[in-house]
Amino acid sequence: MAEPQYTRRGTLRTVGSGFAVGSLATLGTGTGAATQTTAETVIVNVGYASESGRRAALSRASTVDHEFGFDALTARIPESEIDTLAAHRDIRYVEEDRTLGGIVTPQIQPRQQVGEHRVPYGVSVTGADAAAERGYTGSGADVAVLDTGIDSTHPDLATNRGKGTAFVPGVSDIEELGLPAGQDDDVRVSHGTHVAGVVGANDNDTGVVGVSPAATLHAVKVLVGVLGGGSAASIAAGVEFVADQGWDVANLSLGKSGQIDVLADAVTDAYERGVLLVAAAGNDGLLENDPPASDAESTVSYPAAFEEVIAVGATDRNDELAAFSSVGPEVELVAPGTDVLSTALPINIYSNAEEPFNRYIELSGTSFAAPHVAGAGALLMGDADLSNVEARERLRETAADVGLREVQQGHGRLDVAAALGVE
């Protein structure tokens, strides 16, 4: 496992004290705060405004999990000290660490046998295949997939996989589950592997192709376990790691309702340092809300709802809004997110037990809409040499209006060909 190379304050030890599990199937069903070792202490994220505030936090900490470069830290402190610390004049916030999960609908799907090369409909409907024919493949771009990991043995991913790291509990914390410690996708989970394939499955003779088939994919493992949970602190650490490496794009197909301050700090810092941040809007749409949310309401999850992040909703093959897709003024773009064919582990929690065990599957969720946009960002930043701000503006300007309300589609459906000026 590659070690994080922090340019500012570094890790004191790996983020992820205890094993906290979020929900991969629905938004906001995680267990909440990170596991406590005693009834008297709790893991909190603390943002401070000065060295005085930092010292105040450290003086109350029994252990320190992580010190960020953006004036925040994660520590275990006595629960009785929280209010006192929060009242300190140089403390910006004190929040109990929370668990976030991947965003995907839970339908069981048969594995797909993909022999000859196939172009998934999301790649073709957005014009990414036409862009590839003109030489726009994302060569030289670096995309971080902050997720459950990437299957390093998959034939469509192995040659594109770069370095990365993991911000999850060590094997000793979860050894009873038999999960690997490194960046590889967890046994049977396949969420990160599926996301990675949408971003940049390579263009070979078999299987599928991604939006940016020559981009380098970096596994930043921030979710762990069969249900794919990860703490806000570990995800924030992953975002900071991406910025420290100078990578172009970060895909976050994960989320939870309600603002999380340490994530707000992390995405602001990364965006200012040149990272294009793309996140799943959430699956809290019509299926979860009856009546559906009005124009004045939002069901968009965090971190997608942050201003610095492109919040991506999901459409189907007919450019209709997916029934599960979250809506709200934060939605910036929509992209194909229903029945998305992509890479998978040979055996995974979404597929049935029929033979043969093929390594492709169709899944639905805004988790799989977001990586279409991340892949497009890689093309713009790698091939067209745009900054993260310029790439974001180009994606907005060239999005296709598919006739949905603004709270549903934002600026419109992703149009890769238009963004690159390809006919």
Joined tokens for residue 67: 């010190």
Catalytic residue chosen out of the listed positions 65, 129, 142, 147: 147
Counted residue by residue, the chain has a size of 423
Catalytic residue chosen out of the listed positions 88, 154, 191, 194: 191
| SS3 category, 225 | coil
Pairwise CA distance, residues 15 & 234, whole Å: 5
Residue 34's closest CA among 122, 116, 119, 97? 97
Residue 161 CA neighbour count, 13 Å, CB half:
23
Pairwise CA distance, residues 396 & 418, whole Å: 11
Residue 273's closest CA among 72, 3, 6? 6
Contacts of 147 (CB under 8 A, 6+ apart): 102, 191, 192, 195, 196, 219, 220, 221, 222, 223, 251, 253, 254
Type of residue numbered 165? T
DSSP conformational letter for 387: -
Question: What's the burial of 130, exposed, middle or buried (CB within 10 Å: 0-12/13-18/19+)?
Answer: middle
First to last CA, the chain: 43
| SS3 category, 379 | helix
Contact predicate 62/41, CB 8 Å? yes
CA 192 to chain centre: 9
- Reduced to 3 DSSP states, what percent helix, strand and coil does the chain have, rounded to the nearest 5? 25, 20, 50
Residue 364's closest CA among 307, 322, 418, 403? 322
Active site includes 248? no
**H/E element holding 277?**
strand 276-280
Question: What's the burial of 301, exposed, middle or buried (CB within 10 Å: 0-12/13-18/19+)?
Answer: buried
Active site includes 212? no
Catalytic residue chosen out of the listed positions 367, 372, 411, 415: 367
Active site includes 301? no
Joined tokens for residue 352: 């049935």
The set of catalytic residues is 147, 191, 367
